[in-house]
Amino acid sequence: MHPELSVVIISAGTSPWIKDIVKRCELFSKDIIIVSNNQAFITERANDSSSTRRWVFRDFKGYGNQKNFGTSLAKFDWIVNLDDDELPSHDLIDYLIAWKKPSGNTKALRIRRINFCNGSAMAWGKWSEDYSVRIYHAACRWDDKIIHETLAVPKHAMEKIHWPLYHLTANRFHNYLKKTKGYRNKRASSSDGNQYFGWPILKTLFSALIYLEWLEGANGLYLTMTRSLERN
């Protein structure tokens, strides 16, 4: 018997991992919603929809907005929210199969993400200590930022889960460059994009030095530089 968890996946329709992600989610959920602004991607999967798996087209209005829309379609009160480059680990799947609703005032759970670059897990810097909200109550709402959205839940109402997600965006260099370019384009076309203009590359490089990201060698340098380009 599956727990009462809905899954909302936000996809641009270009992920090489989307099939594997959905397949793993089917191990713990009977309600999976994939929201994409890529009409061709959704049309190709029209015959793949079922009572437990829905492919839904929606124009892109920001990641937070997309997540709120997907949440509104969910059958259950608790949501597992994934990007299309986040693969649940087997340990996380086991945890979700045995899911029990959090007690007390907890409204959201932050999951550890293991970030991969060029086939290797990142062990240093902010890339190694990465916890993101990926489980939350359906009554919660994301803000309207175009990217890097935030769930409107106070920190005291959040808990951490150490069973990881595998974050695969930078696992292939060309995929990460494409994502970085997409972020810059979305920011440039949005009202909140101006706050990033003039954001100094040196600040990102300084952060990489302080948090020892340079110990990752070429992979760390690559991610640091592409991150700085994303923010400028």
Q: Which CATH architecture has domain 5-115+130-167?
A: Alpha-Beta Complex (3.90)
pLDDT of amino acid 46 = 83
What ranges do the domains of the chain cover?
A: 5-115+130-167, 171-230
Find tokens 């709120």 and name the residue: 68
pLDDT (tens digit per residue) in 151-165: 999 999 999 999 999
Class of residue 76 by CB neighbours under 10 A (exposed 0-12, middle 13-18, buried 19+): middle
CA distances from 138 to 35, 83, 142, 187 (A): 16, 17, 11, 27
Q: What is the rounded average pLDDT of the residues 48-55?
A: 90
Dist. CA 137–CA 207, nearest whole Å: 33
Q: Which residue has the higher pLDDT, 91 or 61?
A: 91
Q: How far apart are the first and last CA of the chain?
A: 48
Angle between helices 201-210 and 218-230 (to 10 degrees): 140
